[in-house]
Each structure stands twice: as structure tokens, then as C-alpha cells.
Amino acid sequence: MMLNQRIVLFGRNGQLGAELSHFLIHIPDFWSFSSKEADFLRPEIVTEVLDQFQPEIIINTAAYNGVDRAEDLGEKEKALRINAETPGLLAQWAQKKKALLIHFSTDYVFDGNKRVPYLETDSANPLSFY
């Protein structure tokens, strides 16, 4: 399979990001970034990456995943910035530029009480801040 689109992937060093990078590395216009290179705590850096590379496809695998730590006051702000605010900026940028955004998230938005698999359209009912 050969893609001709410019692709940017965030979260290169995470489990999912590393696997996807392994398969996408052969695409000529593919760039991947770790949290050190595109820190989601500094959304202006992420926006600079998007503006520089002008991707047609954005893949976001970056995430704050400290489930237990997310309940602490200082970590709540960090979790919110990494998992909500900066991905929101990705969505705004993608919409403005007519780019495709592929965003991976967690199932922690659901309470786990449903007896059948959840759908994306199901109402969220998280049990914790995370």
C-alpha cells in the first residue's frame, strides 16, 4: 500500500505510536514525534509542528495515562491538557485545513456497567477524573 498524503503522528514512543510508526515509516511524507519533540503540555509547539509539516492526516496516539495519579490536583491539570485541550487544538487545526484527524482514546470514559460492547455514540459516565 502506498499513500501519497503527508502524515504526522504524535506519541511515537508509546506502545501504539511505536507500532504504527513501524508500519508507516516507509511512507515518504511521514513524520512522527515523541512527547519530547511535541510536548502536549505546550500546545504551541504542537501547533508549530502542524504548521511546519502541513499534514493531510494527523494521527494522535499521545496520551496521559497515569490513571491513579490523575486524581491528584496537580496531575488533573496535566491530564486535562494532554488528553483534552491539546487534542482539541488538533481537531480545530484539522478542521481548518480540511485534514483527517485520527485520535485514539481510552475506554475509561465509560462506567463499565453495559453488558454489551460500547459504541462511540454511547453516553460517557467516567468513574474518575482520568
Query: Of 100, 101, 118, which is closest to residue 109 (Cα–Cα)?
Result: 118
How many CB atoms within 10 Å of residue 78?
Answer: 16
Phi and psi, residue 44, nearest 5°: -65, -30
Distance, in Å, from the CA atom of 44 to the CA atom of 127, rounded to the nearest integer, reads 31
Crossing angle between the packed helical segments 86-97 and 43-53, to the nearest 10 degrees: 20
For residue 120, the Cα-to-chain-centroid distance in whole angstroms is 16
Catalytic residues: 130
